[in-house]
């Protein structure tokens, strides 16, 4: 059975190579679309996912991290009075404009945190310390901002909202999903630079649940004690943020449609190849049936061809994806390829090729063994 399947598959090498290219293209396209999507979603919720808070208090029905509105700071003291809370910290978020060395401006996402506790600060520093933002208008920028803001060095001065600030730290690996890069500073400096937030308002309250306390109970008590705001667990707010960018903006549908097109393209190419091969060898299949071969035996031959196409195409596509990954990294675009995606794409490729063989199987089913004896 195996030898027949392989002979049919490799008999026409040009056709096999074309099929292999089609499957490889599909695999690479699926990997690229899903991988870039996962990278974007990781950036969308990376602040939420990496900060040590278990619970986030936001403005009412805030759709995601980037669109939270200011709410009264007095909610912080109310939150601290609830049983089961280890600590609670306020954090401010604001959109601001930074002046570039060439005279232009660029929008940034500014995060103000308490430098004494470090809650809300960058979690990965390349140069400097998060505590260095104390004592003046000091900021920390991420190394990924160079393409947007120009190369920034320690000690450089820039202007945010027409006020001079000094770079005292450089973080690494903290990117935003939007085109505006993150800038970190002290809570007081952020409030001063983004005066529109209001003197007695904040953007988030971050809460750590004490050991032994039930997170759900703490969330319930916070919702009862803090009217006019929304309370989410870390996981809920992270999901809410990623859901917004995936569904509400249509971004996820764009990636999904492109990945689906890759699947369809591969299916059409593989299906056409196997069907053509089946038609060319229709008399041979008829001979097998005439000498007593069951349909199941012939089905296995066709399915074997489909699986071989899938395995070789996946391996080739996976290798090509590795080179593509390096190219994406050079452009600054994050592509995330976790192990579960590798396994999923493999089985999806097998499904694609096996599904493509259905037409050929139906063709073989209708073969009349008598045709072998006709001229």
DSSP string spanning 55-69?
A: EEEEETT--SGGGPP
Nearest to 208 by CA among 53, 48, 79: 53
CB 48 within 8 Å of CB 93 = no
pLDDT for the residue 351: 87
Give the pLDDT confidence score for residue 195 in this predicted structure.
82
| 360 phi, psi to nearest 5 deg | -65, -40
Per DSSP, the three-state class of 72 is strand
pLDDT tens readout for residues 249-266: 877 788 888 888 888 887
Q: What is the pLDDT of residue 2?
A: 45
pLDDT at 135: 82
Angle separating helix axes 13-44 and 339-356, nearest 10 degrees: 140
List all residues 6 or more positions away from 27 whose beta carbon is below 8 Å from its beta carbon. Answer: 262, 266, 313, 314, 316, 317, 318, 320, 321, 345, 349
How far, in Å, CA of 221 to CA of 356, rounded? 55
Q: Which segments of the chain have a pLDDT < 50?
A: 1-2
Angle at 326 between CA 322 and CA 329, to 5 degrees: 135
Q: What is the pLDDT of residue 19?
A: 79
Model pLDDT, residue 371: 54
Question: In angstroms, rounded to a whole number, what is the distance separating the alpha carbons of residues 93 and 99?
Answer: 19
Q: d(Cα 117, Cα 251) in Å, to the nearest integer?
A: 36
Helix (H, G, I), strand (E, B) or coil at 32: helix
Please provide residue 81's backbone torsions phi and psi, each rounded to the nearest 5 degrees: -85, 0
Q: Which residues contact 372 (CB under 8 A, 6 or more apart)?
A: 283, 286, 287, 290
- Is residue 333 within 8 Å of residue 30, measured between CB atoms? no
Question: What is the pLDDT at residue 203?
Answer: 96
Q: How far is CA 145 from the centre of its chain?
A: 20
d(CA 76, CA 95): 22
Q: Which helix (H) or strand (E) holds 304?
A: helix 295-331
Q: How far apart, in whole angstroms, are the C-alpha atoms of residue 95 and residue 103?
A: 19
């Amino acid at each position: 059975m195996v030898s027949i399947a392989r002979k049919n598959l490799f008999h026409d090498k040009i056709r096999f190579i074309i099929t292999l290219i089609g499957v490889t293209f599909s695999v690479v396209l699926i990997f690229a679309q899903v991988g870039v999507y996962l990278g974007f979603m990781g950036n969308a919720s990376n602040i939420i996912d990496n900060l040590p808070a278990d619970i986030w208090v936001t403005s009412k029905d805030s759709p995601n991290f980037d669109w939270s509105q200011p709410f009264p700071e007095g909610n912080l003291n109310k939150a601290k009075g609830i049983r089961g809370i280890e600590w609670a910290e306020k954090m401010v978020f604001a959109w601001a404009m930074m002046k570039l060395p060439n005279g232009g401006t660029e929008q940034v996402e500014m995060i103000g945190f308490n430098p004494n506790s470090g809650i809300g600060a960058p979690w990965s520093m390349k140069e400097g310390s998060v505590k260095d933002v104390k004592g003046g208008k000091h900021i920390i920028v991420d190394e990924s901002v160079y393409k947007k803001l120009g190369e920034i060095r320690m000690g450089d001065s820039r202007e945010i909202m027409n006020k001079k600030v000094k770079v005292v730290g450089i973080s690494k690996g903290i990117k935003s999903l939007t085109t505006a890069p993150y800038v970190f500073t002290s809570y007081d400096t952020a409030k001063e630079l983004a005066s529109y937030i209001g003197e007695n308002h904040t953007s988030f309250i971050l809460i750590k649940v004490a050991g032994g306390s039930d997170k759900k109970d703490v969330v319930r008590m916070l919702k009862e004690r803090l009217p006019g705001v929304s309370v989410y667990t870390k996981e809920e707010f992270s999901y809410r943020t990623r859901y917004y960018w995936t569904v509400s903006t249509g971004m996820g549908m764009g990636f999904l449609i492109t990945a689906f097109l890759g699947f369809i393209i591969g299916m059409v190419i593989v299906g056409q190849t196997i069907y053509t091969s089946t038609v060319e060898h229709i008399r041979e299949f008829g001979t097998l049936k005439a000498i007593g071969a069951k349909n199941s035996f012939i089905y296995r031959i066709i399915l074997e061809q489909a699986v071989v196409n899938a395995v070789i195409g996946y391996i080739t596509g996976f290798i090509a994806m590795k080179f593509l990954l390096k190219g994406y990294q050079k452009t600054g675009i994050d592509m995330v390829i976790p192990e579960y995606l590798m396994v999923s794409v493999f089985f999806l490729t097998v499904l694609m090729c096996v599904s493509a063989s259905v037409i050929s199987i139906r063709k073989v089913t209708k073969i009349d063994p008598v045709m072998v004896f006709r001229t």
